[in-house]
Structure 1
Amino acid sequence: MPSDQPTILATSGGYRFGDRTRFEFDGLVHHAVELSGVTGRRPRVTVLGTASGDQRGMADDLHEAARVAGFDLTNLHLFPMPNLDDVEGHLLVQDVVWVNGGSVANLLAVWRVHELDAVFRRVWEAGVVLSGVSAGSICWYLGGTTDSFGPELRAVTDGLGFLPYGNGVHYDSEGRRRPLVHRLVADGTLPTTHCTDDGVGLVYRGTELVEAVTEADGKGAYVVTRDGDQAREERLEPRRLPTP
């Protein structure tokens, strides 16, 4: 069931430790499903673990989380080859596509080899909610900050660009993220950049940022803009999501 317009939920969260399972889906994943507008049946969610090399153990954990949440979940693997015959056809009938974290640089390279950059644009335009955490957030933007290349954070500037901004993830939990975002915006490497503390997500309808939401108390979202040769940061107060 597609959303009524192209929708992205870009996050620095979505999971919590489970009682009987390793993970459970937290408020942000449930909100992605809510944004899809699905009613009357189990939500269809496809997860991509490309950024971490399609780890099968993680995929199994997410199936358990989906069972608890009442979702029909499919893992789309690209290693060693795509596990679905018709990837685009499958994605077009999903309610939510969720992309996990890891190396955004590797994710983008692998997706482009399989022409998923063009596929995801068509899926987005068809109204399937695109979402994800960390690398699975940055990928939808023009770029952001990443440790894809080693322990020292660097800029990545070849994101899919569905959203015409930069993206800063883990803004409160990794101390090097904020100053690097400020430096990259100030020198023009990144455009206006939208950032999330852990547990926070940003909702876009089309390319317009319409709301910040959070599954954790005391967290924030931020817009960093260029002001001459410096960066200016504005805090956005997110709406608290219910705990599933």
Structure 2
Amino acid sequence: MKKPRQIVALGGGMFSMEADNGLLDKYILNLALKEKPKICFFGTASNDGAEYREMFYKFFNEQNCEPSHLSFLDPPDNIEEFIMEKDIIHVGGGNTTMIMETWKKFGVDKMMKKAWESGIILTGMSAGAICWFDDGITNPSPGVLTRLPCLGILKGSFCPHYDDRAELKSAYEKLILEGTIKEGFGVEDGAAVHFVGNDPVKVIASRTGVTAYKVRKVRNKISETPLQAVYLGKESDKNAVSKVSGNTDVLKTAITFFEKINEHDVEGLCELMTEDHKFVDSMGTIVFGKDEMKKAWQGFFDWFPDYHVTSLNTLLTDDTVGFFGTAKGTFNSDDFTEENKFEVPASWRAKVKDNLIAEWQAIADNESVRKILDEHGRKAMIKANVHFENND
């Protein structure tokens, strides 16, 4: 299963500013969906200073993870290999220009893009957040602020400490008004923007009353649009965060089942089902039993030979795993027209019992799929002799 491409850009916070809080730090660890994720600290922006690094280890040595760091004063023999084996990269604050110059010198700018594409979670605070965007701000001489080209993984620009440093906020808005830098995000201390791909899917906060703003130029004036933040300290909101509980076997079973779908491995899917397996889809179709599901999956893959599902986020609670993403496919016919293709937002719920899938539910806006099946697929289902119920 292809991992989602994620970046968490912080205005300020985590272990270096809120050592006794930990909400943002733990949110990031939980995104890895591993029992013991590998998190690596880059102190490039502070010239690999020992004090900053020690704060990182002081916090993360107490968490269920494997902390490490990369110093360019004493780099590993194979930097790319070192980076690509991590689950999370966190870049500390300091001097963004130092980040860009050092990373380009060692080729790490390209490595970070490769890491992001592979699903390694990239995070950073202040300068460590700015570096992921198109545009940063630099002051080459006293009183002069201008554009600093950054990695460009995320579109636009980023301004940290949006509530705490008035001079930085003012300069950021001025450069947007002048057209020197692109519009972007102003993020307050204690807040962060969580991106999946290039989409800001959530603003999270370790404190109440802080958030992020979409900052843009509208009719020669600066427009600030506040984005609703989820305060991680609320118990009700914690449940909305992708997390790993003690039962990692449940998660592994569900992920393996998800991967078997993309492999079109019908035998593998059946091996992961209970004998009384139940399938429910958005069109009201219910199928019971492993034998019936074997015919149903084979028939579906015959209809849509390029069927593929993508998970952008995952939620684990007790014996149930939820996947949230997209599904797409093309109906297998002589007429490969756009009408025979679909790509829809989708989610799936897996109920796991004794490391087997007891129930699989697919939830999606399936109107386009329904139309294709109404035209082509119902005859195929009858031919496949699949016994199903319908709740319509």
- Tell me, in whole angstroms, the C-alpha distance in 2 between the residues paired with 1:54 and 1:8: 22
Cα 1:114/1:25, change in 2 over 3 Å: farther
Answer yes or no: is 1:7 the counterpart of 2:3. Answer: no
Percent identity between matched residues is 24
Does residue 34 (structure 1) correspond to residue 33 (structure 2)? The answer is no
Report the Cα distance in structure 1 between the residues aligned to 2:195 and 2:146, rounded to whole angstroms. 23
Runs of 4 or more consecutive aligned structure 1 residues displaced over 6 Å after TM superposition: none
Match of 1:205 in 2: 196
Distance apart, 1:112 and its partner CA: 0.3
Q: Report the Cα distance in structure 2 between the residues aligned to 1:153 and 1:43, rounded to whole angstroms.
A: 42
> Match of 1:176, SS?
helix
Is 1:224 aligned to residue 220 of structure 2? Answer: no
- 1:192 and 2:183 aligned: yes
From the superposition, tell whether residues 76 and 178 of structure 1 become closer, same or farther in structure 2 (CA, over 3 Å): same
Please say if residues 3 and 37 of structure 1, whose CA atoms lie closer than 8 Å, have aligned partners that are also in contact.
no
Decide whether aligned partners of structure 1 residues 155 and 217 sit closer, same or farther in structure 2, where only a CA change above 3 A counts.
farther
CA contact 2:207–2:233 (8 Å) conserved in 1: no
Matched letter for residue 227 of structure 1: V
Residue 227 (structure 2) pairs with residue 236 (structure 1): yes
CA distance in structure 2 between the partners assigned to 1:195 and 1:158 by the alignment:
18
* Corresponding residue of 2:161: 170
Q: Is the 8 A contact 1:105 1:156 kept in 2?
A: no
User: Is 1:44 the counterpart of 2:35 in the alignment?
Assistant: no
1:106 maps to 98
Unaligned runs of 5+ in 1: none
* Structure 2 residue aligned with 1:96: 88
Q: What residue is the counterpart of 1:77 in the other structure?
A: 71
**What is the rounded CA distance, in whole Å, between the counterparts of 2:97 and 2:2 in structure 1?**
29
Q: TM-score, normalised by structure 2?
A: 0.56
Q: Report if aligned partners of 1:3, 1:128 keep a CA contact under 8 Å in 2.
A: no
Partner in structure 2 of residue 119 of structure 1: 111
Partner residue of 2:136 out of 144, 160, 171: 144
d(CA) in 2 for partners of 1:16, 1:121 = 25
Bigger RCO (CA 8 Å, 6+ sep): 1
2:146 is the alignment partner of 1:155: yes
Matched residue type, 1:4: K
Instruction: Tell me which amino acid in the other structure corresponds to 2:67.
Output: L
Aligned-partner residue type, residue 165 of structure 2: E
Structure 1 residues 242 and 188, CA gap change in structure 2 (3 angstroms):
same
- Find the counterpart in structure 1 of residue 352 from structure 2: none
Report the CA distance between 1:65 and its aligned residue.
Answer: 1.3
Distance 2:40 2:86 in 1: 7
Deviation at 1:153, TM superposition (A): 7.1
Q: Cα gap change, 1:51/1:153 in structure 2, threshold over 3 Å: closer, same or farther?
A: farther
Q: Is the 8 A contact 1:145 1:153 kept in 2?
A: no
Q: When the two structures are superposed, what TM-score results if normalisation uses the length of structure 1? A: 0.88
Q: Which one has the largest radius of gyration?
A: 2
Q: 1:34 to 1:155 in 2, by over 3 A?
A: farther
Which structure shows the bigger proportion of residues in helix conformation?
Answer: 2
Matched positions, count: 234
Please state how far the C-alpha of 1:128 moved relative to its aligned partner.
0.4
2: CA distance between counterparts of 1:189 and 1:32?
Answer: 32
2:181 counterpart SS class: coil
Work out the CA distance in 2 between the residues paired with 1:207 and 1:36: 18
* 1:196–1:56 CA distance, 2 compared to 1 (3 A): same
Q: Contact (CA 8 Å) 1:194, 1:222: kept in 2 or not?
A: yes
1:60 aligns with 2:54: yes
